[in-house]
Amino acid sequence: MKTKIRTFIAIGALGIIGFTNINAIADNKSLVNAEVVTESEEMLTIEAWMTDANVWTSELKVATTDAEEALEVEAWMTNESYWTSATVVDAVETEETLEVESWMTNLSLWE
């Protein structure tokens, strides 16, 4: 029972300290921002091209269409010798078995 009461008291004390610190930091931060930081932005101006209807509603027709050159099949692309291997591999690659070494089971290394 003592432990529960102490726990509740500790939680309550930490909560009160936390809230007062948050308020203190927030108040200090707003004062610092009000005194030090002054932001100023340049005024945006509307330029003539922004309101020109010709820029936004262009009736310009493009007579030529962009087209890429057709790709050609070259001789090496259809040559079977480029795509098949001359050597045949019949042997299956085998790996060595794993071994447990002394350092792997040494408890002093893992603690």
The whole-model pTM stands at: 0.22
In the numeric block, the tokens 């820029």 are attached to 55
CB atoms within 10 A of CB 57: 7
The structural domains of the chain, with segments of one domain joined by +, span 1-38
Cβ–Cβ under 8 Å, residues 12 and 4: no
User: Angle at the Cα of 92 (from 87 to 95), degrees rounded to 5?
Assistant: 130
**What pLDDT is stored for residue 111 in this prediction?**
78
Q: Do residues 1 and 7 make contact, with C-beta atoms less than 8 angstroms apart? A: no
**Half-sphere exposure for 56 (CA within 13 Å, toward CB):** 6
**Residues 6 or more apart in contact with residue 109 via CB below 8 angstroms:** 103
pLDDT of residue 30: 57
Amino acid, res. 25: I
Q: What is the pLDDT along the chain (111 residues), one digit of tens a residue?
A: 667 888 888 888 877 877 666 655 555 555 555 556 666 778 889 998 888 887 777 666 656 667 788 889 999 888 888 788 777 677 778 888 999 999 999 988 887
Give the pLDDT score at 99. 93
